[in-house]
Chains A and B, each alone.
Chain A
Amino acid sequence: QQNVQQSPESLIVPEGARTSLNCTFSDSASQYFWWYRQHSGKAPKALMSIFSNGEKEEGRFTIHLNKASLHFSLHIRDSQPSDSALYLCAGDTNAYKVIFGKGTHLHVLP
């Protein structure tokens, strides 16, 4: 059974800061890795995904995947108050099943 651990549980950063969120999987069974973002009172929405080792950048957001160390991270450059949300990392274990971590609550102070 895939287990996903996220850290930290909560994070408060000033506007403009670089923010790093971390995720560790219990095994290498996942093929697809996702970061989802959920603003308060809204549905979770996919932010970025990656399917192979390495790095992927989209605007202020960068994700890193290292399957050997089972580590997956999200980095936000120049954090904005609008980035305040619950960030969830997830992995597909068998093409359809998506397991989520408990999430990191990010608060960006203006």
Chain B
Amino acid sequence: GALVYQYPRRTICKSGTSMRMECQAVGFQATSVAWYRQSPQKTFELIALSTVNSAIKYEQNFTQEKFPISHPNLSFSSMTVLNAYLEDRGLYLCGARPGAGAEQFFGPGTRLTVL
């Protein structure tokens, strides 16, 4: 079956520091990987979408300078939260798809706490 792993599951960092999270697709080729942030205030926000053979596209209010993403192959993606602050708290979810229009498989998320 199709599975998506994310690690770490939880992380705590000091305000102003950075942390990296990873996403691994197993059982299928992730031709697209989307990173989302789920928070109590704004629930489900799309941060960026990475599609094979295309540039990574960031949504409004999210930038590459703040959330650099790497998608080097069809099974792995990573995202870093640079200079994390309180407003960056939340559950970061990775959604991977094997093709256009296909179901998006989610990992369990990385919960970021900023002190």
Chain A interface residues (CB < 8 Å from chain B): 1, 31-32, 34, 42-46, 49, 51, 88, 90, 92, 95-103
Contacts and interface: CB of A to CB of B under 8 A. Distances in A.
Interface residues of B, number: 24
6 contacts: A49-B103, A96-B34, A97-B57, A98-B46, A100-B36, A100-B43
A46 B42 CA distance: 21
A80 B50 CA distance: 37
A31 B103 CA distance: 13
A97 B4 CA distance: 18
B90 interface: no
Interface string B35-72: 01000001110100101000001001000000000000
A97 B34 contact: yes
A96 B108 CA distance: 20
B44 A96 contact: no
A45 B32 contact: no
B23 to A, nearest CB: 11
A2 to B, nearest CB: 10
B104 A32 contact: no
Nearest to B33: A96
A98 B104 contact: yes
Interface stretch (B11-19, B80-88, B94-102): B94-102
Contacts of B101: 31-32, 51, 92, 95
Nearest to A97: B49
B106 A43 contact: yes
